[in-house]
Amino acid sequence: MAGLIYLAVIFLVLALVFFIAGAKGIAGFTMEIAKWLVIIFVIVAIITFIL
């Protein structure tokens, strides 16, 4: 599960780098990936906590 947060942080950093570089399309795409990784992490954490 820690791998999901690690990947989310990597994609967040990539999004910031692409945004600063001016590639807003790629930055938005990597931000969406980071968002979905965090959502998946939260869902898995809740399921793990319940079980």
Q: 31-50: per-residue pLDDT in tens?
A: 998 899 889 999 999 999 99
pTM for this entry: 0.77
Kindly report the average pLDDT of the chain as a whole number.
88
Which of 6, 16, 1, 10 has the alpha carbon at shortest distance from 46? 1
Cβ–Cβ < 8 Å for 30, 21: no
Say how far apart CA 15 and CA 50 lie, in whole Å: 33
Which residues, including other chains, have CB under 8 Å from residue 11's CB and lie 6 or more apart?
Answer: 30, 31, 33, 34, 37
Domain enclosing residue 19, as ranges: 2-50
Supply the pLDDT for residue 2: 73
User: How many domains does one find in the chain?
Assistant: 1
